[in-house]
Amino acid sequence: MAAGGAGVGNKTYSFKVVLLGEGCVGKTSLVLRYCENKFNDKHITTLQASFLTKKLNIGGKRVNLAIWDTAGQERFHALGPIYYRDSNGAILVYDITDEDSFQKVKNWVKELRKMLGNEICLCIIIGNKIDLEKERHVSVQDAEGYAESVGAKHYHTSAKLNKGIEELFLDLCKRMIETAQADERAKGNGSSQSGTGRRGVQIVDDEPPNAAAAGGGCCSSG
Amino acid sequence: MSQKSERRGIHVDQSELLCKKGCGYYGNPAWQGFCSKCWREEYQRARQKQIQEDWALAERNKLFHCNSSCSVSVSRVRLQREEEAAYASSQGAQSQPSLAPFSKFEEKKSNEKTRKVTTVKKFFSPSSRTASKKESQETKTPSPSISRQASMETDRVSRDFIDFLKGLQKPGREIHKQCRAFVESMGNKKDLSAEELSECVQDFYQNMADRLLSHFKGSTERVERVMDQVEKYLMTRLYKNVFCPETTDDEKKDLAVQKRIRALHWVTIQMLCVPVNEDIPEVSDNVVKAITDVIEMDSKRVPRDKLACITRCSKHIFNAIKITKSEPASADDFLPTLIYIVLKANPPRLQSNIQYITRFCNPSRLMTGEDGYYFTNLCCAVAFIEKLDAQSLNLSPEDFERYMSGQASPRRQEPEAWPPPAGGSPALAQVYQSLELLSGLGARQERVLEGARRLEGDLIDWRAGVEREVQDILDRHPLDLRLPPASAIDSDNVENDRLPPPLQPQVFAG
Ligand SMILES: Nc1nc2c(ncn2[C@@H]2O[C@H](COP(=O)(O)OP(=O)(O)O)[C@@H](O)[C@H]2O)c(=O)[nH]1
Ligand SMILES: [Mg+2]
Ligand SMILES: [Zn+2]
């Protein structure tokens, strides 16, 4: 069923993607641009911008994408695991003009690894607001180098100018489909892969489940 | 604010939510309004009676072939017959292809589970298996005398389920059979922990959904539609045995959260940065509705119905935010507002409800759907409230302590605090809009008062009129008491014993 967004044949894939990142980096703007093609628009018709969905057709495969906005304020940071459990993908956003927000992304990567271990979802790192290139405080080299070192894809976007957004979601969806198909094949083989089905968080407190397992990188970049 | 919302009236009387025995715990509709403790006492009494009744029924029907928990099976047998009878009418038209894979339903191995919902609860129940098992040995089968209302609802849900399944022809019958067998099997699993009960139900959902998926050739929408009905049928029946079960400390956690929220009564909208201006009547309307919705969750039995309450609550929150900010709410707006609503509502048995939904809701609803998003936020709100400290409210530790201990309460913020100094026309426009609304309200209040005065006058006139009429009638028909015809003196023995004894004939001996 919809669990894990796995699908058979012509079935529709359902994916859950969470947006993580400091406040004001542009998470809400990115998703409103993607789903409504609006930016800072007073005439937005949707009642809310915290849970948005988009239907896609990728090479004949139907995808229902659910995008979960998260509260970015520091005092809500500890709630992260409740949001990202059972997600198929995570989009980690920073603002290229804000060094601190990039540091926050690094913290998120560490936390996801620690909390999810082997079961880590696909994650993508986004440097937003490239229309403010002259105020850039995070160098392209640093950002892309870091992403590569943890096995994550990196994208540059501008919600304001609608740059890079379609591409990043399309790429994420393609990779989530691949992961789902791989899960399914493993399931079909009857191999005792007890882990694959139960993605999500297995622990309550701060102790990492199997921190050593994080060696493979943040994302199983497939 | 708190005074305001009280005045506007949330029509949920706290006393209605409390245990009928008045012990101070929350009552539970499934326990006839008692808390679990008082319910057990009440139930012990009723149970004796019920066992006798069931014995009698069983003897009569010669169906009594198990020596324990028979009370359960007897009433089930009756139910089963009723449901079978209800189905008999549809049996004629069964030329449709049967749902082939269902015959091997039970063989389905569970090792290919892709269920994930079990991970969710780990956040909230590190140790849910603390209470002694012995206590739960007794079944919670309610006596016929005290659970009529609940069983009426169960019957209605069963009928609806059958009606729905009839539309599916042969597979419908198969689904019904599986569901009924499953409910029965759950009756024999009373000493399982809550986690194990959840596993059973989730396995059943998973197997059923897999079968349906191949039957409907991959149409997830049709599968979902059937699964919603399956959940409704199963959980209406299982509710009283698996909601806040005695094997868990759910009830203790409920009380802890309830106490915690009470202790936080001083938290203001400004401390949480809630982007909602309750001075706008429409906004405070939505706030009150959101509070009512989240309180209402406790009264539902089906997990999805409980979820729907959370979703309605969230929509009212979004309305309140949109009216205040005139832009769609983001998670940064929504979560603080939801926290505020939960603090204001102090919803009954919050932990039990969250646990119940987590354990027994159809996982696809919880994982990716919109309802799941709002539910997750509610979980976040509760987690935040439990952990909340000075820092989370931008207070100094000293202030926080003083507020918590009740030594001081935060100064009420001046209304100028809202709207924020935007220095633009939108804020001013809003103020004018509010003023306009207020004066409109004033005029309406005048009209209401005017109406009340008129009504009062009418009532006085009416009373005078009636009196006049009565007097008229009395004048036209003067009182004419006709006494009943005289009867035998001792026909009624009033004060008979005070009379002197009757004279006895005396015999004079010659
Ligand atoms: N110049 C520029 N500003 C942006 C961009 N994306 C978002 N913003 C602005 O950044 C601020 C915060 O955006 P928001 O979407 O609310 O961030 P969030 O807190 O992460 O959800 C708003 O004022 C946006 O208008 C962008 O691509 N370019
Ligand atoms: Mg936002
Ligand atoms: Zn009681």
At B310-336, the pLDDT tens digits run 999 999 999 999 999 998 999 999 999
**Which tokens in the block code for residue A198?**
């139960």
How far does the CA of residue B126 sit from the closest CA of chain A (Å)? Answer: 7
- Using DSSP bridges, classify how beta strands A61-68 and A122-128 pair: parallel, antiparallel or unpaired: unpaired
For residue range A185-214, what is the model confidence (pLDDT) as tens digits?
887 765 433 333 333 332 233 333 344 444
**Which tokens in the block code for residue B455?**
């009504």
pLDDT on residue B8: 43
Class of domain B152-242 (CATH, top level): mainly alpha
Nearest to B73 by CA among B199, B175, B185: B185
Band (pLDDT 50/70/90 cuts) for residue B493 is low
Query: Which amino acid belongs to residue A53?
Result: T
Q: Produce one character per residue of B207-222: b if its CB has 16 or more CB atoms within 10 Å, e if not.
A: bbbbbbbebbeeebee
Band (pLDDT 50/70/90 cuts) for residue B443 is confident
Best mutation site among A24, A25, A29, A92 for ligand 1 pocket (most ligand atoms within 8 Å of CB)? A29
pLDDT on residue A120: 72
For residue range B269-317, what is the model confidence (pLDDT) as tens digits?
999 999 999 999 999 999 999 999 999 999 999 999 999 999 999 999 9
Query: Is the model's pLDDT at A135 over the cut of 90?
Result: yes
For A126, list phi and psi in degrees, rounded to 5. Answer: -120, 125
Which residues, 6 or more positions from B418, have their beta carbon under 8 angstroms from its beta carbon? Answer: B277, B279
Residue ranges of domains in chain B: 29-79, 152-242, 253-405, 429-467
Domain B253-405 in CATH 1.10.357.10? The answer is: no
pLDDT on residue B191: 82
Query: Is the model's pLDDT at B421 over the cut of 70?
Result: no
For residue range A42-75, what is the model confidence (pLDDT) as tens digits?
777 889 999 999 999 999 999 999 999 999 999 9
What is the mean pLDDT of the segment spanning B338-351?
97
How far does the CA of residue B212 sit from the closest CA of chain A (Å)? Answer: 10
The residue count of chain B comes to 510
Query: Is the model's pLDDT at B84 over the cut of 80?
Result: no
Band (pLDDT 50/70/90 cuts) for residue B15 is low
Best mutation site among A22, A24, A32 for ligand 1 pocket (most ligand atoms within 8 Å of CB)? A24
Residues of A in contact with B361 (CB under 8 A): none
Query: Is the model's pLDDT at A103 over the cut of 70?
Result: yes
Decide: helix, strand or coil at residue B504.
coil
% residues pLDDT > 90 (chain B): 37
**Ligand 2: centre distance to CA A163 (Å):** 19
| Window 428-467 of B, Cβ < 8 Å to A | none
So what's the ipTM on this one?
0.84
- Taking ligand 2, which is a single-atom ion, which protein residues have CB atoms under 5 Å away? A 27-28; B 330, 332
Prior bond to B419 cis, omega within 30? yes
B315 touches chain A (CB under 8 A): yes
Query: Is the model's pLDDT at A129 over the cut of 70?
Result: yes
Closest ligand by atom to B333 CA: 2
Could B115 and A197 be called an inter-chain contact, meaning their C-beta atoms sit closer than 8 Å?
A: yes
Taken in order of first residue, the domains within chain A and their CATH numbers are 12-184 (3.40.50.300)
For residue range B205-259, what is the model confidence (pLDDT) as tens digits?
999 999 998 888 877 788 889 999 999 999 999 998 899 888 888 899 999 999 9
Per-chain mean pLDDT for chain B = 76
pLDDT on residue B138: 42
Query: CA angle B187-B153-B361, nearest 5°?
Result: 60
**Ligand 3: centre distance to CA B143 (Å):** 18
